[in-house]
């Protein structure tokens, strides 16, 4: 899951090893990877709703890290 933050929220981004900042990225735990994709998305989104990023986010993107396929964008 990639979290795209609204402008002006650089303090919540991660300082990258190269120049600039990176948006937060969350991964599902390996033990959950055998679950149906929709269940993983739902549980990750529930965690996101409880996070500090909820009010400062423009878009949340879910994609398959193995195939690089876009699953859903909210």
pLDDT in tens, 21-63: 888 888 887 677 788 889 888 989 999 999 999 999 999 999 8
pLDDT in tens, 2-19: 889 999 998 999 888 777
Closest C-alpha among 51, 37, 42 to residue 74: 42
Q: The pTM is what?
A: 0.77
Q: Cα separation of 19 and 63, whole Å?
A: 25
Q: Cα separation of 10 and 57, whole Å?
A: 12
* Coil, helix or strand at residue 18: coil
């Amino acid at each position: 899951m990639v979290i795209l933050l609204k402008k002006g929220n650089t303090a919540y981004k991660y300082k990258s090893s190269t120049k600039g900042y990176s948006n937060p990225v969350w991964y599902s735990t390996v033990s959950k990877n055998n679950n149906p994709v929709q269940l993983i998305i739902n549980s990750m989104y529930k965690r996101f709703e409880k996070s500090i990023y909820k009010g400062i986010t423009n878009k949340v993107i879910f994609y398959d890290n193995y195939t690089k396929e876009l699953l859903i964008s909210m």
